[in-house]
């Protein structure tokens, strides 16, 4: 029996499974492989400069004629910060940057990390088209990204953080389907009021920014609150059994990140893929040390350093100014002890690096078997 749901009609895809938008990791090659296999490939474009994003969209279009999507972040905190820049909101993060930089420099010296040369940086940066570089995750940055997404009339847009509400009229005009990732019922209700096609309920097990609420408890509660708006489940879905379980909880499909990180096409470094294969379900931690927002990361000397520090990470987007050079240096030196990457608790299910098509097909087959045999329990 074939796995299907109304998600397939909404996105015009064969199976109700999406590659999660994972910044830098969900490349055009990975997204196209998932779309070609019958799912919905989503570009993890959160860190792309606007012209790089346009290039990614063009590239995915050369690799597949199937529907695909683009995921970016629209953090409400950044919009709020720009609106209240001159009001009294506690210490100005820009003034704290210097002290945090000193912490990072000491860490770099202790770990004998060298500032990477341009050539040593991960490949994402090497092919960036020229053009004005905007400060990543600033308001100006994500508004310029949205302009490209609208101009390119992409089939699907996903907001990984925040609300796509202000752009809904243009999306509707273009025929773009819109989804948003939420971690609480009240966020789902708030964001769905802008007229979303699909909501993604992402629980605490998930890699990256996630929710304080576990996936098993969150998913049915978001499903109940959404009524007719279909919900895709995310967080800890590492194989087809997870997809089947999510559908039993009322989800209409799954949005899967970590399981696709070990795909050959994923845009992370080889030593980070090996760290996923070597990792276990206990190997992740929630930390603000990379982006400034709580995110599930693979535990490392960098996350430990912040856990033991007597200063707190800065809010988004300032903490990336502190972590960026460290992570670039650790990547260039292939230091899995410092930057093994970002992953969810499903990491322990990863046994090998494989082509995305093989990962996808196995997920579908196992989900179909699990759902077909569910009737034996009653
Ligand atoms: C390496 C990595 C990067 C991520 N980057 C983003 C991102 O840029 N935007 C976003 O919406 N979510 C991001 N996420 C979260 C995923 O979209 C997704 O919700 C999550 O991976 C689902 O949980 P799972 O990893 O357990 O499958 C990221 C997750 C990972 C593992």
pLDDT tens per residue, range 326-349: 999 999 999 999 999 999 999 999
Predicted pLDDT of residue 86: 45
Ligand 1 pocket member 25 (CB < 6 A): yes
208 alpha carbon to ligand 1 midpoint, in Å?
A: 5
3-state SS record for the chain:
CCCCCHHHHHHCCCCCEEECCCCCCCCHHHHHHHHHCCCEEEEECCCCCHHHHHHHHHHHHHHCCCCEEEEEECCHHHHHHHHCCCCCCCCCHHHHHHHHHHHHHHHHHHCCCCCCCHHHCCHHHHCCCCCCCCCCCCHHHHHHHHHHHHHCCCCEEEEEECCCHHHHHHHHHHCCEEEEEECCHHHHHHHHCCCCCEEEEECCCCCEECCCCCHHHHHHHHHHHHCCCCEEEECCCCCHHHHHHHHHCCCCEEEECHHHHCECCCCCCHHHHHHHHHCCCCCEEEECCCCCCCEEEECCHHHHHHHHCCCCCCCCCCHHHHHHHHHHHHHHCCCCCCCCCCCCHHHHHCCCCECHHHHHHHHHHHHHHHHHHHHHHC
112 alpha carbon to ligand 1 midpoint, in Å?
A: 30
Q: What is the mean pLDDT of residues 359-369?
A: 98
152 alpha carbon to ligand 1 midpoint, in Å?
A: 23
Ligand 1 pocket member 258 (CB < 6 A): yes
Q: Which two tokens stand for residue 354?
A: 């494989």
Atom of ligand 1 nearest to the CA of 42: 17
Ligand 1, residues 19, 20, 231: which to mutate, most atoms within 8 A of Cβ?
Answer: 20
Ligand 1 pocket member 346 (CB < 6 A): yes
Name the closest-CA residue to atom 6, ligand 1: 22
Residues 243-302: tens digit of each pLDDT: 999 999 999 999 999 999 999 999 999 999 999 999 999 999 999 999 999 999 999 999
Ligand 1 pocket member 22 (CB < 6 A): yes
pLDDT-derived band at 95 (thresholds 50, 70, 90) equals confident
Q: Is the pLDDT of residue 200 over 90?
A: yes
162 alpha carbon to ligand 1 midpoint, in Å?
A: 14
Name the closest-CA residue to atom 4, ligand 1: 22
Cα–Cα distances in angstroms (integers) from residue 185 to residues 81, 216, 226, in the given order: 24, 14, 9
Q: Which CATH number fits domain 6-82+122-280+346-370: 3.30.70.20, 3.20.20.70, 2.60.320.10, 3.90.79.10?
A: 3.20.20.70
Are residues 176 and 81 in contact, defined by beta-carbon separation less than 8 angstroms?
Answer: no
Atom of ligand 1 nearest to the CA of 238: 27
Residues 140-160: tens digit of each pLDDT: 999 999 999 999 999 999 999
Ligand 1 pocket member 197 (CB < 6 A): no
pLDDT-derived band at 77 (thresholds 50, 70, 90) equals low
Predicted pLDDT of residue 85: 46
Ligand 1 pocket member 202 (CB < 6 A): yes
Ligand 1 pocket member 23 (CB < 6 A): yes
**Where is pLDDT greater, at 95 or 239?**
239
* Alpha carbon distance 328, 47 (integer Å): 14
Cα–Cα distances in angstroms (integers) from residue 103 to residues 112, 219, 333, in the given order: 14, 39, 20
97 alpha carbon to ligand 1 midpoint, in Å?
A: 27
Predicted pLDDT of residue 79: 63
Q: Phi and psi dihedrals of 232, rounded to 5?
A: -100, 145
Atom of ligand 1 nearest to the CA of 45: 8
Ligand 1 pocket member 239 (CB < 6 A): no
Strands of the 41-44 sheet, one edge to the other: 17-19, 253-256, 231-234, 198-202, 177-182, 156-161, 68-73, 41-44
Predicted pLDDT of residue 81: 62
Ligand 1 pocket member 340 (CB < 6 A): no
Atom of ligand 1 nearest to the CA of 341: 1
Predicted pLDDT of residue 286: 98
55 alpha carbon to ligand 1 midpoint, in Å?
A: 22
Atom of ligand 1 nearest to the CA of 346: 26
Ligand 1, residues 24, 41, 44: which to mutate, most atoms within 8 A of Cβ?
Answer: 44
Ligand 1 pocket member 20 (CB < 6 A): yes
Ligand 1 pocket member 234 (CB < 6 A): yes
């Amino acid at each position: 029996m074939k796995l299907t749901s109304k998600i397939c009609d909404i996105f015009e895809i064969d199976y109700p499974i999406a590659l999660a938008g994972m910044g830098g990791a969900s490349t055009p090659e990975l997204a196209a492989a998932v779309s070609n296999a019958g799912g919905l490939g989503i570009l993890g474009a959160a860190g792309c400069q606007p012209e790089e994003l346009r290039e990614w969209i063009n590239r995915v279009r050369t690799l597949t004629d199937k529907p695909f999507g683009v995921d970016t972040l629209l953090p409400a905190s950044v919009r709020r910060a720009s609106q209240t820049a001159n009001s009294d909101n506690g210490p100005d993060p820009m003034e704290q940057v210097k002290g945090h930089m000193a912490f990072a420099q000491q860490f770099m010296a202790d770990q004998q990390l060298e500032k990477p040369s341009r050539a040593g940086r991960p490949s994402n940066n090497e092919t960036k088209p020229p053009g004005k570089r905007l400060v990543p995750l600033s308001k100006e940055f994500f508004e310029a990204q949205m302009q490209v997404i609208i101009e390119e009339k992409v089939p699907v847009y996903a907001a990984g953080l925040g609300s796509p509400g202000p752009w809904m009229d243009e999306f509707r005009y273009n025929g773009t389907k819109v989804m948003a990732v939420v971690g609480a019922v009240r966020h789902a209700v708030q964001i769905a009021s802008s007229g979303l096609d699909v909501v993604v309920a992402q629980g605490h097990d998930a890699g990256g920014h996630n929710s304080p609420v576990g996936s098993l408890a969150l998913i049915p509660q978001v499903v109940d609150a959404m009524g007719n708006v279909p919900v895709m489940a995310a967080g800890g879905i590492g194989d087809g059994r997870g997809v089947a379980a999510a559908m039993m909880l009322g989800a209409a499909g799954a949005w899967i990140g970590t399981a696709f990180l070990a795909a050959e096409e994923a845009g992370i470094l080889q030593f980070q893929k090996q760290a996923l294969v070597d990792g276990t379900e206990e190997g992740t931690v929630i930390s603000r040390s990379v982006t400034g927002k709580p995110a599930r990361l693979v535990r490392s000397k960098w996350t430990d350093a912040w856990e033991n520090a007597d200063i707190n990470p800065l809010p988004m987007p300032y903490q990336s100014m502190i972590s960026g050079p460290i992570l670039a240096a650790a990547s260039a030196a292939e230091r899995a002890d410092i930057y093994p990457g970002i992953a969810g608790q499903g990491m322990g299910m990863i046994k090998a690096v494989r082509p995305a098509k093989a990962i996808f097909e196995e997920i579908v087959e196992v989900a179909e078997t699990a759902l077909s045999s569910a009737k034996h329990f009653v």
